Amino acid sequence: MLGNIIKNSLLLYSKSALFRRCNVRQISCNSKSRWEEIASRNQSTALESEDDLDKPIKYSMSKAATMRIEEYRNPYEDSRPWYQGYVVSASLVVFLIYFCILRDENDIDNLIYCDLNETLSRVKKEEEEKLKLKSK
């Protein structure tokens, strides 16, 4: 019966945050409750390690002390090379020079400049001719 009381009190201790802080040793009468006392000691050492988590962390000992603020603001800044902006700008300039100045006009460009009504009438005529050829 005393063992059940100790078990219940240990359950209360483990469930309540207030009892975790005030961990009181239980007096045991027999060998069975002695094992429970050893288990409660192990539990109290685990609770003490949890108490370490509740203590404030020194800033000088943390990882945050050695980290630069730029890494928090823009963590991907260091991942691209310094010359990437120049390469993108040069590629864009070459692209525009080729397509706007150097390239000759082709049939697609001529179709773009044609009147829409003319283009539609020509397409209709071509479709009619294809239908006539298929029906023969």
Is 84 in contact with 92 (CB distance < 8 Å)? Answer: no
Range of the domain at 112: 106-135
| Residue 55 domain flag | no
Per-residue pLDDT at 19: 47
| Residue 129 domain flag | yes
Q: Using alpha carbons only, what angle is made at residue 58 by residues 52 and 61, rounded to the nearest 5 degrees?
A: 105
Helix 2-15 to helix 31-54 angle, to the nearest 10 degrees? Answer: 10
| Residue 118 domain flag | yes
Cα separation values, 2 from 11, 27, 71, 89, Å: 14, 10, 59, 82
| Residue ranges in the chain modelled with pLDDT below 50 | 18-19, 22-24, 26-29
Q: Torsions phi, psi of 83, nearest 5?
A: -90, 5
pTM over 0.95: no
| Residue 96 domain flag | no
How far apart (Å, rounded) are the C-alpha atoms in residues 55 and 57?
6
Domain count, the chain: 1
| Residue 100 domain flag | no
